[in-house]
Amino acid sequence: MKRESNSKLKIIPLGGLEQIGMNITAFEYEDSIIVVDCGLAFPEDDMLGIDLVIPDITYLKDNIQKVKGFVITHGHEDHIGALSYVLKEMNLPIYATKLTMGIIENKLKEHNLLRCTRRKVVRHGQSINLGQFRIEFIKTNHSIADASALAIYSPAGIVVHTGDFKVDYTPVFGDAIDLQRFAEIGKKGVLALMSDSTNAERPGFTMSERTVGKTFDQIFAEHRNTRIIIATFASNVDRVQQIINSAYKYDRKVVVEGRSMVNIISTASELGYLNVPDKTLIEIDQLKNYPDEKTVLITTGSQGESMAALSRMAADIHKKVSIKPGDTVIFSSNPIPGNEKAVSRVINELSQKGADVIFQDAHVSGHACQEELKLIYSLVKPKYAIPVHGEYRHLKANAGIATALGIPKENVFILKSGEVLALDNQSAKVVDKVQTGAILVDGLGVGDVGNIVLRDRQHLAEDGILIVVLTLEKGTNQLLAGPDIVSRGFVYVRESEGLMEEARQVLSDALENCLRNNRNADWSRIKLVIRDTMNDFIWKRTKRRPMILPIIMDV
Amino acid sequence: MKRESNSKLKIIPLGGLEQIGMNITAFEYEDSIIVVDCGLAFPEDDMLGIDLVIPDITYLKDNIQKVKGFVITHGHEDHIGALSYVLKEMNLPIYATKLTMGIIENKLKEHNLLRCTRRKVVRHGQSINLGQFRIEFIKTNHSIADASALAIYSPAGIVVHTGDFKVDYTPVFGDAIDLQRFAEIGKKGVLALMSDSTNAERPGFTMSERTVGKTFDQIFAEHRNTRIIIATFASNVDRVQQIINSAYKYDRKVVVEGRSMVNIISTASELGYLNVPDKTLIEIDQLKNYPDEKTVLITTGSQGESMAALSRMAADIHKKVSIKPGDTVIFSSNPIPGNEKAVSRVINELSQKGADVIFQDAHVSGHACQEELKLIYSLVKPKYAIPVHGEYRHLKANAGIATALGIPKENVFILKSGEVLALDNQSAKVVDKVQTGAILVDGLGVGDVGNIVLRDRQHLAEDGILIVVLTLEKGTNQLLAGPDIVSRGFVYVRESEGLMEEARQVLSDALENCLRNNRNADWSRIKLVIRDTMNDFIWKRTKRRPMILPIIMDV
């Protein structure tokens, strides 16, 4: 490492703060920038028609000569999902652990980026050098295998970034979180700790993933005579492992259903993260060769996503599986905030078909609760605390833990995306703000849907549209045809013929008036008359405000 | 009462099953029909732009000569909210307890229906005779005062309908639920029990409303130096009473904010359901005369509703109250399923302004949990069980309780709205299905928005609209003007000029081709060409499917 310098380390979150999702943070020291994670966010309710959201990386593009690469903590969409989009704009190497890289590679393949992207698999305990940074990968536990915390060594000091983590003393696969290493680095003196705030409002400890296995065993023991269907997150390989274990113990064959589930399980198996006993997995078409009580289906759809396998089974539109009375369906998941109603809808549909639905105790979180956060703070003993990964309420709860443990309030930073925190052993302070934002992806379009389009979609969704068309004679503004009124999403026309006819009459009168008094009225004036007249009339009669769109042609 | 007859009693739920909301049930015996409750439902997520939903009462209108009146269990919107709409179609008397009637009268006033509607206030313990029915009002507890269960006496037997209820041994106002009366009627022999399924999935007992008062006292004691703002349901008069009690104890003045809150509190005070010590309530404009730590605001907005008072304070657009650092904000409520994200948004905004937000332990449910349901079943000992008030999963959980308590499976009926259950002491069976449905209310329009309009709104919301206009010469189909393409909610046009110009070109070619080869092409053929051409082109280029709307004029 270089001698101590006078420069400061800059930490620049480009997303992931004040929201769950779109995690991406730049670390800058003089001529070197590294980027930790590159995630997507799922669209908010008011982002109508949007498929996904990726971060604005203008700051990275403006400093492209400094940027050394992407360091990825784990393979969840909110940490890797924007890579395929961002790499198209700046081709940089990716550093990640084995399973994480396997999942990334699946995505790069889909986007035709695999061959042109440099990738390096890093082991836990190993370090990589990127410019003036050294980054060490530290073993943690999370709801996906192979998650890492990062110790980021810079000439200005060490930053420990937990990634998404929990403390699992008895993980299903591999080692427990490397608490000793956190302590060792803490002993050296850590400048700042950036820790996962997702569960910072929750007291206590998150239970071990292994407890879910016990629940499965119990449910399997109690339901020996029915088919069992279990919905869970595709990426939770350890969860799938435990289902396979219970199935094997109770002599059932396992079918995996749902595209993302099949993909991740095949990647995890290839890379050795999943241990499937011989002849346990069968194809969905083989189901008919086994009695129901000898089978288990593992499926996507635990969030009530309408196109996922479980939802299709519940709605009776799945091609190969129908729900039968007596089926035992387990939700091995909690609804993510915002999905509660969708999940409930699927539970209702399943119940109605006679399935026995179990949605309690078959899930644990992948994120640290308050006592785990206290443990990490106490091992790392950072000078500064920077809560990350959460909405404001979660960041604030994490900040409260930091101060309760003795970190002075002025050393705790709840940052906003884009803020540049410059820090070293003497001081830390927000010195700048860089451009950040949410780029909306809709179909093939990246960034071509903005606020105006969203506002229009909202307006159309609320009250529909009334289109007024008319044809004028060039030069004379003589009305040759129209006004015709066409509506969509406003009222059921056949039931409202009277209203529409009356609207046309009122509009004709207003137009005639406008054109007679003002033979040279320009089109913007005519359109204004149309809008005002229609808005008034429709509001008075219906108390609704559809979009009014006048279109004028001339011949 | 008349001698035992051979006719059966018919129970016909016209709403409220397989959903939370829109509770309305007809009871029919020979020439008599009574209707229990007449509630609205709030729109589902896919009912874009809809304000509220009311039941289809065709069956009642078709049998209007039999219908004796509306018997109302309590004053919540999902039990009274459709009255003002339904009464416009069939003027019938209303029977309810005092506070319930007060709340109903407020609504009738708004709809100019007060003078023309007969109303009778009924006391708990009192009975009314309606045709061949006698209906007894029985005291229960719920999250609104003056709630009633009903014992419905018919020549075919007695039906007990719990209404929405919980068992509160220590209610804040008035008496505990009249368990003795349930037992006494049970002793006589009850044909059927219709009981509240809302919390039937939850084990244990719902806590007493009074426990929330203790939590308030504790919070007030711990926050002596800050302003306190409490959001709760407007109709929970007992909750408001307890806030006032704590405020009085801790020497604070109380401001009530939010239109629905002010309305209900004034009705409850007038009718004697709220006991406010002198000089405790002040107007919002007087706030400035008191130090923050001597004030409490009770406000609407506990569900994150964007226009409610608390949300406006959080967003800094409330005219009279801004959130200050140090304010203590209490959510005395749980998010209703579907509102989780909205509530979280408000919590984030409040936290960001420096408020200390408390959202745990300051609420109890108003609905019975499993042990309370078991108690009622055990007191009433009905021959038949008919779970009501809930989605399918809740009804099923309630049915499970009934069978666990020894009611034979074939005597438990999970009905669908519209099913006609005919029953007497010998048998019970679904004998018919009558018309039911959801009538959508949008602005002034009742029922003029149906599935086609909703489907269009959904389509418009997803991908927007492309309108293609052209003018043809009458007779010759010569293209005089256009095709012009206008879009809304599709792409940001300035960034997509190229795309739109290309679309116009492709379309012009297709049209020219169509018109040249087919001079007499009728408009439906031309429109088809426009739709197909545009759909193909836009999908290929953007992977989106905006609505394509061709409009042709001729001159």
Q: How many CB atoms lie within 10 A of CB B283?
A: 10
CA distances from A329 to A228, A360, B257 (A): 6, 11, 46
Task: List CB contacts (< 8 A) between A18 and chain B.
Answer: 348
- Catalytic residue list contains B394: no
Per the rule left: phi > 0, alpha: psi between -120 and 50, beta: everything else, A20 is beta
Q: Does residue A49 have a known ligand-binding role?
A: yes
- In the numeric block, which tokens belong to residue A101? 């890289």
DSSP state of B416: -
Q: In this complex, which of B449, B456, B495 lies closest to A488 when CB atoms are compared?
A: B456
Residue by residue, DSSP assigns A313-367 as: HHTT--SS----TT-EEEE-S-PPTT-HHHHHHHHHHHHHTT-EEE-SSS---SS
User: How many beta-carbon pairs under 8 angstroms link A with B?
Assistant: 191
Nearest to B66 by CA among B90, B30, B94: B30
Cα atoms in the 13 Å half-sphere on the side-chain side of A340: 10
pLDDT at position B388 is 97
Q: What is the pLDDT of residue A6?
A: 72
Active-site residue B124, yes or no? no
Q: What would the mean pLDDT of A183-209 be, rounded to a whole number?
A: 97
Residues with Cβ within 8 Å of B85's Cβ and at least 6 positions away in sequence, in order, are B54, B439, B441, B446
Q: Which of A340, A351, A462 sits opposite B337 (nearest CB)?
A: A340
ipTM above 0.85, yes or no: yes
Q: Which two tokens stand for residue B402?
A: 């009934």
Q: Domains in chain B, please, with CATH?
A: 9-204+366-443 (3.60.15.10), 211-358 (3.40.50.10710), 451-554 (3.10.20.580)
Q: Looking at the DSSP assignment, which residues form a beta bridge with residue A446?
A: A441
d(CA A149, CA A185): 12
Backbone angles phi, psi at B242, to 5 degrees: -70, -35
Nearest-Cα residue of chain A relative to residue B353:
A392
Cα radius of gyration (chain A): 29
Task: Say what the pLDDT of residue B479 is.
Answer: 87
CB-based contact B209:B171 (threshold 8 Å): yes
Q: Cβ–Cβ of B344/A391 closer than 8 Å?
A: yes
For the residues of B211-231, what is the DSSP string, one character each? HHHHHHHHHHHH-TTS-EEEE
Is the pLDDT confidence value at A477 over 50? Answer: yes
Q: Is the CA virtual torsion B185, B188, B189, B190 positive or negative?
A: negative
**Full strand arrangement of the beta sheet holding B438-442:** B52-55, B438-442, B445-446
- Phi/psi at A114 (5° precision): -65, -45
- Long-range pairs of A501-505 with CB within 8 A, sequence gap ≥ 24: A502/A537, A502/A541, A503/A466, A503/A534, A503/A537, A503/A538
pLDDT of residue B1: 44
User: Among A444, A470, A544, whose Cβ lies nearest the Cβ of B543?
Assistant: A444
Task: Of B135, B57, B59, B139, give the one whose Cα is nearest residue B94.
Answer: B135
Q: What pLDDT shows up at residue A3?
A: 47
Instruction: Please check whether residue A160 is in contact with residue A136, taking contact to mean a CB–CB distance below 8 angstroms.
Output: no
pTM: 0.90
Cross-strand pairs, B27: B11, B34
Indicate the pLDDT class of residue A309, thresholds 50, 70 and 90. very high
Q: What residues of chain A, 262 to 301, have a C-beta less than 8 Å from chain B?
A: none
pLDDT score at A207: 95
Per-residue pLDDT of chain B (555 residues; tens, 9 = 90+): 444 457 999 999 999 998 889 999 999 999 999 999 999 999 988 899 999 999 999 999 999 999 999 999 999 999 999 999 999 999 999 999 999 999 999 999 999 999 999 999 999 999 999 999 999 999 999 999 999 999 999 999 999 999 999 999 999 999 999 999 999 999 999 999 999 999 999 999 999 999 999 999 999 999 999 999 999 999 999 999 999 999 999 999 999 999 999 999 999 999 999 999 989 999 999 999 999 999 999 999 999 998 999 999 999 999 999 999 999 999 999 998 889 999 999 999 999 999 999 988 899 999 999 999 999 999 999 999 999 999 999 999 999 999 999 999 999 999 999 999 999 999 999 999 999 999 999 988 888 888 889 999 999 999 999 999 999 888 888 888 889 999 999 987 666 778 889 999 999 999 988 888 777 778 888 999 999 999 999 999 999 999 999 999 988
Spell out the SS3 assignment of A212-253: HHHHHHHHHHHCCCCCEEEECCCCCHHHHHHHHHHHHHCCCE
Nearest chain A CA: its distance from B490 CA (Å): 6
Instruction: For residue B284, give Cα distances in angstroms to A354, A443, A546, B216.
Output: 54, 50, 36, 21
Asked whether A258 and A230 are in contact (CB, 8 A), the reply is: no
Select which of B37, B56, B168, B196 is catalytic. Answer: B196
Query: CA A443, A447, A450: angle at the middle one, nearest 5?
Result: 105
Catalytic residue (choose from A196, A238, A327, A424):
A196
Sign of torsion over alpha carbons B45, B48, B52, B56: negative
Q: How far apart are CA A122 and CA A130, in angstroms?
A: 13
| Residue among A68, A72, A69 nearest A149 (CA) | A72
| Residues of A with Cβ-Cβ distance to B340 under 8 angstroms | 337-338, 340
Start-end of H helices in B251-369: 259-270, 309-314, 340-352
Q: How many CB atoms lie within 10 A of CB B531?
A: 16
